[in-house]
Homo-oligomer: A and B are copies of this chain.
Amino acid sequence: MPKLDLDAIPATNATGYPAPFSDAVAGRWYRRLAPAAGLRDFGASHVTLKPGAWSSQRHWHEDEDEDELVVMLAGEAVLVDDGGETPLRAGDVAVFPKGDGNGHCLRNDGDADCLFLAIGQPTTRVCHYPDVDMHLPEGGGYRHKDGRPY
């Protein structure tokens, strides 16, 4: 049955971020659709941001990783990137080509949940975080920017 029963797919707010950077995403609840649906070519996450939650720390992926696309389904979020802050509402689409060096995240500044769908590989190889002392190197495992592990 191609239509997904989203409620039947477990939601989690798990994160690999070390403290204190994990606090921002504690209210990010997501369902990984690709394993549930048998998709292999791209990942897809159905995400609920509770009020105050962020989609991630602001980040960008290297050219060997995968492009990202976000489509807003309900509520409102603020897209934060190098260009500033942009509201996103239901039906809006934002894209983040790999290697563009433009750190981005979505932030729920409102008092209601917002929902979006994110397309792209869930596991990335190298990720840069311009705002915080965190880096994801080749092979995984978050580190300080000077290379020390958390």
Most buried by B among A38, A41, A73, A86: A41
Q: How many copies does the complex hold?
A: 2
Instruction: Tell me the smallest distance from the CB of A8 to a CB of chain B, in Å.
Output: 12
Instruction: Tell me the smallest distance from the CB of A93 to a CB of chain B, in Å.
Output: 5
User: A59-102: contact bitstring with B at CB < 8 Å (1 yes, 0 no)?
Assistant: 00000001101010110000101010010101111111110101
Contact of A41 among B6, B42, B44, B46 (CB under 8 A): B42
Q: Is A19 interfacial (CB 8 A cutoff)?
A: no
What is the chain B residue whose CB lies nearest that of A88?
B3
Q: Is A37 interfacial (CB 8 A cutoff)?
A: yes
What is the chain B residue whose CB lies nearest that of A86?
B3
Inter-subunit contact A4/B94 (CB<8 Å): yes
Instruction: Tell me the smallest distance from the CB of A86 to a CB of chain B, in Å.
Output: 5
Sorted nearest first, the 9 A-B pairs with minimum C-beta distance are A37-B95, A38-B97, A2-B94, A41-B67, A39-B67, A3-B94, A41-B66, A4-B93, A42-B42
